[in-house]
Amino acid sequence: MKHVLESVESQFEMFQILNEDGKIVNKDDMPELSDDELKELMRRMVYTRVLDQRSIALNRQGRLGFYAPTAGQEASQLGSQFALEKDDFLLPGYRDVPQLIWQGLPLYQAFLFSRGHFHGNQMPEGVNAVSPQIIIGAQYVQTAGVALGIKKRGKKAVAVTYTGDGGTSQGDFYEGINFAGAYKAPAIFFVQNNYFAISVPVEKQTNAKTLAQKAVAAGIEGIQVDGMDVLAVYAVTKHARERAINGEGPMLIETLTYRYGPHTMAGDDPTRYRTDDLDNEWEKKDPLVRFRKFLEGKNLWSEEDESKVIEEAKEEIKKAIKQADEYPKQKVTDFISNMYEELPYNLQEQMEEYKEKESK
């Protein structure tokens, strides 16, 4: 039996296109992206890194509520989203706000989501997505259902979701991939393995050598990819999408990545469970540095280009937080009316009381 396990695990070697020096190591799987598309990918990663830095500062100032840092995971998040189409349906976890923004959620609404404002959870017309899931792994079950709905409607689209390494320990994770596999639903399941589920290292989450191999039990395709390599993540996502819309079923993608900051800004201290040596090791693999070197080698990126994006991001973030500040505050009547289409009798009287109070 040990021999069987080892033979299965050996099939899941990390897929990579760009190494840490920004050099192509896998020419055969290089995705077909124009120069403009390559530059747009870099622009989005730089913009998102600035957004993360500013969001952390805003959180510390008390101007944002819940926030999960994203620095280090830009290639995993944005490389995958860049491979999606407008009709695809996005079901993010709470660290996946960047994908929502690039899928079409206005930045000011992302800030309102952080503050717990209901408008931050209202997707604009034409944006196929739900608000970030707070319950660990629950989005996997929802994605299986959405994907089956897409299949039953005959749409050429996919449902895409994300969780972390800790999410693979949840029952919803297995239920979701198993259901989607059984019905060959067009779903793409991401596991962003940043090695620490809050403070629990991945080796204490599972005895499996990879998280990608968990796909085997559900009878679906699984792959492990360098999550610090934006081109590799894009290529794998593109492949998974094509398989799904062609009726070949879902795919589980494990991206090996790292979050530089705390799990969330709600009191987590990563210095208690991560060493400086480990942080330094992963910073050498930084997705922005790696892709920047690649683009500079093709004369597609410069310091001037990067500075322009940074200033653009700062200005747009400034405007978005101002817009969030000026948006009407939540009222108790908003919560009640958003919760119920038809008010139960015991709330009707309360609704009238709150309306009277709010009118004064």
**Crossing angle of the two packed helices 35-60 and 303-326, in degrees rounded to 10:** 50
Taking Cα atoms as reference points, which of 232, 233, 285, 277 lies closest to residue 258?
285
CA distance 306 to 301: 8
* Burial letters 195-227, b for 16+ CB under 10 A, else e: bbbeeeebeebeebebbbbbbbebebbbbbbbb
Give the whole-angstrom CA distance, residue 110 versus residue 118.
Answer: 11
Integer Cα distance of 77 and 83 in angstroms: 11
**213 closest CA partner among 224, 200, 205, 228:** 224
Provide the angle, in degrees to the nearest 10, between the axes of the packed helices 35-60 and 287-297. Answer: 150
DSSP code of 14? Answer: P
Please tell me the distance from the alpha carbon of residue 129 to that of residue 124, in angstroms, as a whole number: 9
Q: If you ran DSSP here, which 8-state letter would residue 330 be given?
A: P
Contact 292, 228 (CB under 8 A): no
Residue 97 token pair: 């706000």
What positions carry a catalytic annotation? 259, 263, 273
Burial 69-93 (b: 16+ CB within 10 A, else e): bbbbbbbbbbbbbbbbeeebbbbbb
